[in-house]
Amino acid sequence: MRRDETETALLETRGLTVRFGGHVAVDGVSCRFREGELTAIVGPNGAGKTTYFNLVSGQIRASAGRVLLEGRDVTRLSASARTRRGMGRAFQLTNLFPGLSVLENVRLAMQAREGRGFRMFSRAMGDWELLDEAERLLQQVRLLSLAEMPVTALSHGDQRKLEVALLMALEPRVFMFDEPTAGMSADEAPHVLDLVAGLKGQPGRTVLLVEHKMDVIRELADRIIVLHNGVLLADGPPDEVMDSEIVQEVYMGQALTDV
């Protein structure tokens, strides 16, 4: 059931490579991400998953290779320029605006999306359109009751939820989740994963999800890619990839078992 290879992928990397000194953390990764698809990215610790994300969203510069967003080369663009073109990223290590309120964090992301940051003579808190939207989103991620709290007063799990909310607020075309539920309590995680699942199959959107829990992947992913030592080892439908010999070997029983 292979789709037409000539169809423009929403996101594509070609031979994407980065070297840190002598160490090649991501090594010639070529991959296409089509709209409507949810791709799980797996691999043992240190495989290069986060580094691959950093290359795609522009946090670090590639040593070689290219990143294409809707067929346009964005390799030389800054992270903020890529975000303005539709790339969105949630970080593995929570990365928020600590001194500001929960609501303000989300509002800032929406304000960036709408390109309203340079308005100097209106009141930020008078922009009801964005404030209403921010409250709706906080309700979705179950943070509305904490809206006025500073981020520093939040539990780790709640900070993880806000991290996801910031990505949702951007309404990007490419969603990149880096272990979104890591550190969340068992009753919070499914709810956040529901939100991720809700993004599946939407036209004009693609979802990349780094995740360790195999049951989650089996349920959500349309496709799995496996990274190991920076190299793309396998790419295919979940069942096929998970049962392949090479993947079993890479993990050597480490994480690739249903949890």
Ligand X SMILES: Nc1ncnc2c1ncn2[C@@H]1O[C@H](COP(=O)(O)OP(=O)(O)OP(=O)(O)O)[C@@H](O)[C@H]1O
Q: Which does 45 bind (CB under 5 to 8 A by kind): other proteins, ligand X, Mg ion, none?
A: ligand X
- Contact flags string 55-94 toward ligand X, x per CB under 6 A: -------------------------------------x--
Question: What does the alpha-carbon distance between residue 26 and residue 46 come to, in Å, rounded to a whole number?
Answer: 10
CB-nearer residue toward Mg ion: 50 or 105 = 50
**What would the two tokens of residue 86 be?**
């539709």
**Cα separations (Å) of 215 from 63, 78, 131, 239?**
35, 35, 36, 11
Q: Does 149 bind other proteins (CB under 8 A)?
A: no
Q: Does 67 bind other proteins (CB under 8 A)?
A: no
- Contact flags string 163-192 toward other proteins, x per CB under 8 A: ---x---x----------------------
CB-nearer residue toward ligand X: 109 or 217 = 217
Q: Does 54 bind Mg ion (CB under 5 A)?
A: no
Exposure on the CB side of residue 216, measured as CA atoms within 13 A: 25
Q: Using CB under 5 A, which residues numbered 171 to 210 contact Mg ion?
A: none
Q: Which does 112 bind (CB under 5 to 8 A by kind): ligand X, other proteins, Mg ion, none?
A: other proteins
**Cα separations (Å) of 46 from 8, 25, 42, 114, 130?**
31, 8, 11, 36, 39
Of the candidate residues 38, 43, 180, 196, the single one contacting ligand X (CB under 6 A): 43
CB-nearer residue toward ligand X: 46 or 117 = 46
Q: Does 39 bind ligand X (CB under 6 A)?
A: no
Which residues lie across from 29 on neighbouring strands?
A: 16
Of the candidate residues 1, 120, 252, 259, the single one contacting other proteins (CB under 8 A): 120
Q: Using CB under 8 A, which residues numbered 203 to 242 contact other proteins?
A: none
Interface residues toward other proteins, by CB under 8 A: 57, 59, 78-80, 83-84, 89, 91, 95-100, 104, 107-109, 111-113, 116-125, 127, 166, 170
Q: Which residues bind Mg ion (CB under 5 A)?
A: 50, 92
- Kindly list the residues in this chain that would bind ligand X in the complex (CB under 6 A): 20, 25, 43, 45-51, 92
